[in-house]
Structure 1
Amino acid sequence: MYTLTGLEMKNPTILAAGVLGTTGASLCRVAREGGAGAVVTKSIGPEPKYGHPNPSMVKLDCGFLNAMGLPNPSYAEFVQELEIAKKDSGVPVIASIFGGNSGEFAEVAQGLLPGQPDAFELNVSCPHAEGYGAAIGSNPCLVEAVTAAVKEVTDLPVWVKLTPNVADITAIGKAAEAGGADAVVAINTVKGMAIDIESGYPVLGNRSGGLSGAAVKPVAVKCVYDLYAALEIPVVGVGGVASWEDAVEMMMAGAAAVQVGSAVYDRTDVFSEISSGIEAFLQRKGYSDARDFVGLAHEAV
């Protein structure tokens, strides 16, 4: 059993927000068939949101570009899906939430409590939703205020998902920690764009979006490394994790656990593959637990 901020997981792999997290059934599928140690829901807000016009996602050679725009049914409609996931998934269910200010974050958190989530993940990092996400997550004062507001309305663990699209991610991480965060999650997508050279128009309906997948892994590893050195709370690593080797690298940088997003598009059982690979690595290296090598890269300096 693997424990993180009080959550007991069968392994240190977690479904990232925004991927197969729109319904309780899809969350259960990832947990029961895919082998995830925990799952994070789609980001849920205070009001129904339809998101950006299509095309909202495009596959690239190096990963994916998406500009979904935080589509969701609102917390009032999502409680039922959360209840299904809690009842049938068999793993911790973390509710990803967003809002335009600290009051909205607190409202959504309170509104989802009847669904009995195991923790909250605060989305202050989406790069393509005007007025939300990174618009808040780029300002340390706002990040601290949002985190504190959610901590005031719940005793559940609160994780804060950080944007890499800032000058110093550790300043944002410290603000989340000051607000009472139990962990930070790094990173969300990196700002990106693709243009169709035949028409000359941007490919995405929103013109620009967020890059995920293999291309962002080195960025994520560096952010996790820096945050691990700067903070006292755990860091959850996410960004380009598609194999057990990726997971081990992220954990050696300082991640207490890893989230998987883009790789799920190729195979839902990637979580089982990663956890099995980590177990084999532990035996080969003589480690008794994955925590034995978390932050190992810092000892080499």
Structure 2
Amino acid sequence: MLRTVIGGLSISNPLMNASGVLSNTPGLWRRLYESGAGAIVTKSVGLTEREPYPGPNVVEIECGLLNAMGLPNPGVEILCEELKAFKMENPDIIVIVSVFGANADEFTRVASSVEEAGADAIELNLSCPHAKGYGAEIGSNPKTVKEVVSNVKSVVKVPVFPKLTPNVTSIVEIADAALSGGADGIVAINSVKGIRINVELMRPVLGNVYGGYTGIGILPIGIRAVWDIYEEFECDIIGVGGIESYKHVLEYILAGAKAVQIGTALYKRGLHLFREIKDSLEKWLQEHNINELNDIIGLSHRR
């Protein structure tokens, strides 16, 4: 009833964690799966180890979170060791590895390594809003996006999903570049760039000043991005941003997404949210006499 296929990758249900949310270690990957996730998305990994930005890194605000971690990671060699061991013990758990780089060559080298280690698919982080020289600074240029995607696709066989930034004039233009480069699907969206100020200290709340805003407040932004991309291309899409309930998942599916990722709500409410949403989706489909969730993908466009 909930099974879906995204970019050729078959998963038991459309629910995933968003990269970086409760996904730093193989132990957490296992917990995500046991809690009901259809696929696991790792924290973004690069060629070499990176330390986090000076804190504060994550601040709770009225309608979500503001974070600037700085793409901390142990480096691809250590991640690959962990992934190989994990996949040997858990071959049926779908693991999508999020990768980043400063240029197409770095993306390609990291992607090739994680595929060899057992990644079932690769998410290209072209959208982190606060890491200088990475993420959105690369993902805002259509030419560079196409180059990164095409280079990665030339060396890997697993599905490749670029994750796009909403912090651009036209996300459709960026999606077009990614698809032209051979992307198997699009992930939309990453966090929205923002700043908050502590009025008592009279300085920004984050150590990095700028951060990525996530939570219920970006739900309409994410749905609009999915709607616009699907309207233009009818491609495979993973919807991300602001999901807190099964109704939010349904909105993304009706807008054109085949799967979704959940971040802030998992962070705030816990992993049991996966099971709650799965059960509610199945109940809703039964009540509406709909056999498969796939039957309503993009249905709201038929007007």
Coarse TM-score class (shorter-chain normalised) = over 0.9
Percentage of identical aligned residues: 44
Residue 255 of structure 1: how far off its partner (Å): 0.7
Look up the equivalent residue of 1:3 and give its one-letter code. V
Distance 1:89 1:221, change over 3 A: farther
Distance in 1 of aligned mates of 2:130 and 2:213? 11
SS in 2 for 1:65: strand
Q: Which of 177, 182, 187 in structure 2 is aligned with 1:180?
A: 182
SS in 2 for 1:255: coil
Distance in 2 of aligned mates of 1:57 and 1:71? 13
Residue in 2 that maps onto 1:288: 291
Distance in 1 of aligned mates of 2:112 and 2:176? 25
Is 1:268 the counterpart of 2:275? The answer is no
* Aligned residues between the structures: 299
Look up the equivalent residue of 2:284 and give its one-letter code. F
Residue 91 of structure 1: how far off its partner (Å): 2.3
Residue in 2 that maps onto 1:50: 51
Q: Which of 217, 222, 229 in structure 2 is aligned with 1:227?
A: 229
Residue 80 of structure 1: how far off its partner (Å): 2.1
Is 1:129 the counterpart of 2:131? The answer is yes
Q: Which runs of 4+ in 1 moved over 4 A?
A: none
- 1:27–1:89 Cα contact (<8 Å) kept: no
- 1:29–1:89 Cα contact (<8 Å) kept: no
CA offsets, 1:179-217, max 9 Å, x none?
Answer: 000000000000111110001010100011000010100
Is 1:13 the counterpart of 2:15? The answer is yes
Distance in 1 of aligned mates of 2:218 and 2:298? 20
SS in 2 for 1:122: strand
- 1:254–1:295 Cα contact (<8 Å) kept: yes
Look up the equivalent residue of 1:297 and give its one-letter code. S
SS in 2 for 1:182: coil
Distance in 2 of aligned mates of 1:158 and 1:286? 34
Q: Which of 83, 94, 97 in structure 2 is aligned with 1:95?
A: 97
Distance in 1 of aligned mates of 2:70 and 2:203? 19
- 2:153–2:182 Cα contact (<8 Å) kept: yes
SS in 2 for 1:3: strand
Residue 110 of structure 1: how far off its partner (Å): 1.5
CA offsets, 1:115-153, max 9 Å, x none?
Answer: 200000000000000000000000000000000111011
Residue in 2 that maps onto 1:64: 65
Residue in 2 that maps onto 1:190: 192
Look up the equivalent residue of 1:287 and give its one-letter code. I
Residue in 1 that maps onto 2:141: 139
Look up the equivalent residue of 1:81 and give its one-letter code. E
Residue 161 of structure 1: how far off its partner (Å): 0.2
Residue 112 of structure 1: how far off its partner (Å): 1.6
What TM-score do the two structures reach when normalised by structure 1?
0.97
What TM-score do the two structures reach when normalised by structure 2?
0.96
Look up the equivalent residue of 1:288 and give its one-letter code. N
Distance in 1 of aligned mates of 2:193 and 2:106? 25
SS in 1 for 2:242: coil
Look up the equivalent residue of 1:177 and give its one-letter code. L
Distance 1:150 1:235, change over 3 A: same
- 1:46–1:75 Cα contact (<8 Å) kept: yes
Is there any run of 5+ residues in structure 2 with no aligned partner, and where?
A: none
Residue 89 of structure 1: how far off its partner (Å): 7.4
- 2:5–2:258 Cα contact (<8 Å) kept: no
Is there any run of 5+ residues in structure 1 with no aligned partner, and where?
A: none
